[in-house]
Amino acid sequence: MGQRIMKGAKLAVVRRAKILFLPISEGSYSMDGARRHGGHSELGGPSSSGGADLISALPDDMIIQVLVRLPCAGVAARTSLISRRWRGLWTRLPDLIFRDVMPGLLLAALSSLGPGAASLSLLDIHVPAVLDVVNRVSPSSRAGLRSSLRRRWPANYVSSLLRATARLSPAALRFSHPLNLEKPYVDVDLSACFHVTTSIELHAAFLCFPGPQFELPALQSLSLSGCRISLVALVPLCPRLSMLKVVDAFLPADDIIIRSASLQELIMENNVMGAWTGRVHVEAPALKQLTMHLRTGSDLSVSVSAPLLEKVSWRCMYSGAFIGLGIWGLLAARLETEKSNGQLGDDAPRVQVLWLHMFARCPRSYPDTVTGFATEIEKHMITGISGLEVHLITPEHVFGALMLRLLGMHRVRTATRSLKIVLQRFKMKDRCTPLVMSQRTG
């Protein structure tokens, strides 16, 4: 009997699929509209032939198992068209995922959920970007929708949205909001909102995180992008934080300062044009993986204390022609953890390789001081190295003297066990600067 009920319910869900996944612009989701697409018995009521109401006979736990397999909370909510019996059951899902829901409707949906109504494992909110929504509606509806989306939303709207999410106390939160606001930045105190959340991912260009007022005792994973944040104030108030990822963020005084006794993985990536990092200071005795991608000028300060560090990806781009030796300017310095001699497998031994990318800048030259250049290179040697890889961009210059100077540096000479030189030659147009390349010949 149970198998026949489940089979009938699955058939009803399949028959209603076309209604549930229709784009918003193509029809209404009223009960009358649903009835026009099928027999009343499929909607949970008695049919003219006296058929049983199979859907209403299902227990709540079984219906929730059906809803869990739907792609997002919006689709799950629309299953009330199948049967009144299903109304409100979507609020009891362990994971609530909102995709492409307009801001006003999203706030209404979150506000309708009572605190503690269900134990949420994940709350995933992605507000659609303008083009994402406009491209999915009919051409006749695009003008008004585009105007609505492009208007600047009040700052208190975002605060209300985050307060509504905090009321649900999710174990994990993902929040992405690309729409514009009336004010360029909105202050958000994470400690006042998500004191029981263990994982937070926030992707928005308008959020500002000042110094929190309280600890975040449960937070273990934090990922932020496009925001303004003070890491020196936030990180010490996260005693269980093990993973921190910050991408394209705006930092006070362009300094990266992190002190954490629990942090095991740190990812810092800054690809914002014009954003220079002046100082990197990391104190993390438990840190095992470090990814640091940054841009700098001529005055970079580096201090990394991580005795357990195992895997490194350090990339520093130099903006402008400030650092060099002789006619050779430094474009970038990298430190990468690689498997020894190309060996495969997780157990293969790993080595640290220092990469230097340099270009010939003739007829101008840099101060001919090996000591100053060596000091700059050693800033990037945050771990011991065993390999040196030098990439040289030059039209015709010899590089023997440069390599002798590099290998004459004490820390480079004593640590290097392997050396690789990659030569990239190019032709110059009308004897212009070597940075304007017309053809790469090898």
Q: How many residues does the chain have?
A: 442
Consecutive sets of 10 residues in the chain, 442 residues long: mean pLDDT of each?
A: 42 34 33 36 44 70 81 77 77 84 80 69 81 52 53 67 84 82 70 83 80 85 88 91 92 87 95 81 97 89 95 90 82 90 66 92 69 90 93 82 89 91 72 38 32
Closest C-alpha among 32, 157, 402 to residue 43:
32
- Please give the pLDDT value at position 434: 42
What is the pLDDT, as a whole number, of residue 118? 60
Distance CA 55, CA 11 (A): 10
CA distance 318 to 153: 38
Select from 353, 370, 343, 336 the least CA-distant residue to 417. Answer: 353
What is the end-to-end Cα distance of the chain in Å, rounded? Answer: 75
The 10 Å CB-count burial string (b at 16+, else e) for 13-45 is beebeebbeeebeeeeeeeeebeeeeeebbbbb
Q: According to the model, what pLDDT value does residue 240 have?
A: 96
pTM, rounded to two decimals:
0.76
Task: Give the CB-side neighbour count of residue 314, counting CA atoms within 13 A.
Answer: 27
Per-residue CA distances from 20 to 6, 37, 45, 305, 334 (Å): 19, 12, 19, 55, 51
The helix/strand/coil state of 224 is: strand
d(CA 73, CA 125): 10
Other beta carbons less than 10 A from residue 330's beta carbon:
20
Preceding amide of 212 cis, omega within 30? no
**Residue 74 in 3-state DSSP?**
helix
Residue type at 373 in one-letter notation: F
- Give the integer Cα–Cα distance in Å for 324 and 327: 7
Cβ 345 vs Cβ 353: under 8 Å: no
- Pair 330, 356: CB distance under 8 Å: yes
Phi, psi of 157 (to 5 degrees): -65, -45
CA separation for the pair 232, 260 (Å, rounded): 10
What value, to the nearest 5°, has the Cα angle with vertex 54 and ends 51 and 56? 120
pLDDT tens column, 318-330: 877 678 888 888 9
Q: What whole-number distance in Å separates Cα of residue 188 and Cα of residue 194?
A: 11
Q: Quick one: residue 408, left, alpha or beta (phi over 0 = left, psi -120 to 50 = alpha)?
A: alpha
Query: Measured over all CA atoms, what is the biggest interatomic distance in the chain, rounded to whole angstroms?
Result: 96
Residue type, 142: R
* Element of type H or E holding 32: helix 31-35
For the segment 257-290, what is each residue's pLDDT rounded down to a tens digit?
A: 999 999 999 999 987 766 789 899 999 999 999 9
If DSSP states are collapsed to H, E and C, what string results for 288-346? CEEEEEEEECCCCEEEEECCCCCEEEEEEEECCCCCEECCEEEEEEEEEEEEHHHCCCC
> Contact 120/95 with Cβ under 8 angstroms?
yes
Could you say which DSSP state residue 55 is in? Answer: T
Tokens found for residue 81:
């068209």
The C-alpha atoms of residue 93 and residue 116 are separated, in whole angstroms, by 12
Q: Where are the beta strands (DSSP E) in 342-386?
A: 350-360
Structure tokens at 220: 């273990």
Of residues 361, 354, 353, 433, the one with CA closest to residue 402: 361
* CA angle (307 as vertex; 301, 312 as ends), nearest 5: 65
Q: What is the model's pLDDT at position 200? A: 93
